[in-house]
């Protein structure tokens, strides 16, 4: 097993994060109170905080790492209502009105981004682009026609073309005009400034340990690092809700994509945003970093933690790009994680009953920019007791099929520690225990229980990101066992190897 760093080109970082200015908000160090606590500094959390702070509410944002650098900052950042074949699927399954609501919510989310970019103002490489859903298979043209019919019926400017404007052959494309794209990390860094300017508080490097009812049962107590923050309302915007009374880990599936940014000869190497409606799907758009234009390509999805060789997926993606699109050297590469719902609609909004005053947002099915912004608009309205037409659409209490998330098992087992190369990891069996072993560049071993601290599933080594990934519910841990993404909230437990190594 080799280290990904020795055989993968490009820097292992999102081009968006690499191009965005840094932030330096303080860590939360003194117990206090606020009107609304927002846990998570991604697009849902910061948009909610911005809307509430501008409305005069006292808002405090707690971010475990740095704002804008996690899931939102690793997306392809398409601001579009064109979500592959979602409208015909929703209309067939739930009726035209549900499809209409979904379209209206995402259009409103996209327009709010446009207005914030204009009004704050925000410099984030925002530009209008057409969005295309294309197919390589002639027999799938009818599916594009069906999607266009439903999209037009609910008010979108949608048309089917014989070919997508791409440098490789396609069998048809569905076009939505005047959508948009941006650098999401730059956007969120500026949005955080907007929150602070409106009177909101932001704390970084503040990992929340728990969210529970305050003593006496009124309001919420958010605990972090031995301190607490008391709030009337709490918004859990953490990619997957970690402390909600509903088991969202069973109602959603985690999946990953590999993404690569290639040097490009010009900003118009391709003109538009593109996604293949069939599998294996690829998504393409242009972007920029400090050195110039980039071609950004997303590879086929795969279940989180299901693959023992993620590095090979980058190699496959690069081969596909070289065969199909003019591209220079690889500049950046990263992996992003999404959560899918059974009905293709996110869970977002107010919980009720014992969780009244808690708001959640998750399960964006790969379309978190517009959906996440719409979810934030819904939550901000609900906190202010204002009507919102998407309450039933995003209903966070609706159920999913019981077998929707069956879980999985690790694909990175090795027999001996000696089989693990420097800079790599693997899972070994030691009696009845499974041990996750990482070997650093100097060959020192770092051993942990391979049981995810969420529900005990055995983690898998990700040889591209150098992380431990849970195949059941999507938790991600650093090579040193620290939580990067939940639903886990505790680090992997240290373990000792039979030979006395740590």
DSSP string, 310-322: HHHHHHHHHHHHH
Residue 2 pLDDT: 40
Q: By the 8 A CB rule, do 136 and 299 touch?
A: no
CA 41 from chain center: how many Å? 12
Q: Please state, in angstroms and as integers, the Cα–Cα distance from residue 250 to each residue in 356, 414, 427, following that order.
A: 21, 29, 25
Is the domain spanning 417-485 CATH 3.40.50.300? The answer is no
Integer Cα distance of 116 and 426 in angstroms: 45
> Which pLDDT score, from 0 to 100, does residue 408 have?
65
What was the pLDDT predicted at 4?
Answer: 42
Q: What is the mean pLDDT of each run of 10 residues along the chain (502 residues)?
A: 60 95 96 98 98 98 94 95 98 97 98 97 97 98 98 97 97 98 98 98 96 92 96 96 90 94 94 96 97 97 88 96 97 95 97 95 97 98 97 95 71 85 92 92 93 94 93 92 90 85 48
Tell me what pLDDT residue 499 has. Answer: 67
pTM of the shown model = 0.95
Structure tokens belonging to residue 385: 């007791």
| CB distance 349 to 379 below 8 Å | yes
Half-sphere exposure of 262 (CA within 13 A, CB side): 23
Contact yes or no for 297/325 (Cβ under 8 A): yes
- Looking at beta carbons, which pairs linking 442-447 to residues 24 or more positions away fall under 8 Å? 445/417, 445/420, 445/497, 445/501, 445/502, 446/479, 446/480, 446/481, 446/502, 447/494, 447/495, 447/496, 447/497, 447/501, 447/502
What pLDDT does 5 receive?
A: 43
Could you tell me what percentage of the chain is helix, strand and coil, using 3-state DSSP and rounding each to the nearest 5? 25, 30, 45
What is the per-residue burial (b if ≥16 Cβ within 10 Å, else e) of 209-224? eebeeeeeeebbbbeb
Position 407 scores a pLDDT of: 64
DSSP three-state, residue 415:
coil
């Amino acid at each position: 097993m080799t280290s990904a760093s020795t055989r993968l080109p490009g820097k292992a970082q999102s081009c968006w994060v690499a191009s965005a200015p840094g932030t330096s908000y303080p860590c939360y160090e003194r117990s206090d109170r606020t009107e609304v606590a927002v846990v998570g500094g991604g697009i849902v959390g910061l948009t909610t905080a911005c809307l509430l702070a501008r409305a005069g509410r006292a808002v405090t944002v707690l971010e475990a790492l740095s704002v804008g650098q996690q899931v939102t900052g690793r997306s392809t950042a398409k601001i579009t209502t064109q979500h592959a074949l979602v409208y015909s699927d929703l209309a067939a399954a739930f009726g035209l009105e549900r499809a209409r609501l979904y379209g209206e919510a995402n259009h409103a989310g996209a327009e709010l981004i446009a207005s914030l970019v204009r009004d704050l103002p925000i410099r984030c490489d925002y530009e209008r682009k057409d969005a295309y859903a294309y197919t390589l298979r002639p027999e799938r043209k009818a599916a594009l026609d069906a999607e266009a019919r439903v999209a037009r019926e609910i008010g979108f400017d949608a048309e089917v073309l014989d070919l997508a404007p791409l440098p490789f052959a396609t069998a048809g494309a569905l076009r939505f005009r005047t959508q948009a794209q941006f650098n999401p990390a730059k956007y969120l860094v500026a949005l955080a400034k907007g929150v602070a300017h409106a009177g909101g508080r932001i704390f970084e490097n503040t990992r929340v340990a728990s969210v529970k009812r305050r003593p006496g049962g009124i309001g919420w107590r958010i605990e972090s690092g031995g301190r607490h923050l008391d709030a009337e309302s709490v918004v859990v915007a953490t990619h997957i809700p970690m402390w909600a009374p509903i088991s969202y880990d069973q109602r959603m599936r985690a999946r990953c994509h590999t993404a690569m940014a290639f040097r490009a000869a010009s900003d118009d190497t391709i003109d538009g945003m593109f996604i293949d409606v069939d599998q294996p799907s690829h998504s393409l758009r242009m972007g920029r970093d400090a050195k110039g234009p980039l071609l950004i390509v997303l590879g086929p999805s795969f279940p989180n933690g299901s693959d023992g060789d993620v590095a090979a997926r980058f190699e496959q993606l690069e081969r596909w790009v070289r065969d199909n699109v003019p591209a220079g050297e690889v500049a950046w590469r990263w992996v992003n994680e999404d959560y899918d719902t059974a009905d293709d609609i996110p869970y977002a909004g107010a919980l009720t009953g014992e969780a009244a005053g808690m708001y959640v947002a998750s399960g964006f099915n790969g379309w978190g920019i517009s959906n996440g912004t719409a979810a934030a608009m819904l939550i901000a309205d609900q906190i202010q007791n204002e009507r919102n037409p998407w309450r039933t659409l995003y209903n966070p209490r609706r159920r999913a099929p019981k077998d929707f998330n069956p879980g999985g098992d690790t694909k990175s087992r090795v027999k001996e520690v000696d089989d693990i190369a420097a800079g790599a990891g693997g899972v070994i069996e030691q009696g009845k225990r499974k041990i996750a072993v990482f070997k650093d560049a100097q060959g020192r071993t770092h051993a942990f229980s391979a049981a995810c601290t969420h529900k005990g599933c055995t983690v898998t080594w990700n040889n591209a990101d150098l992380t431990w990934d849970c195949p059941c519910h999507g938790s991600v841990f650093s090579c040193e066992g620290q939580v990067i993404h939940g639903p886990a909230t505790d680090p992997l437990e240290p373990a000792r190897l039979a030979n006395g190594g740590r």
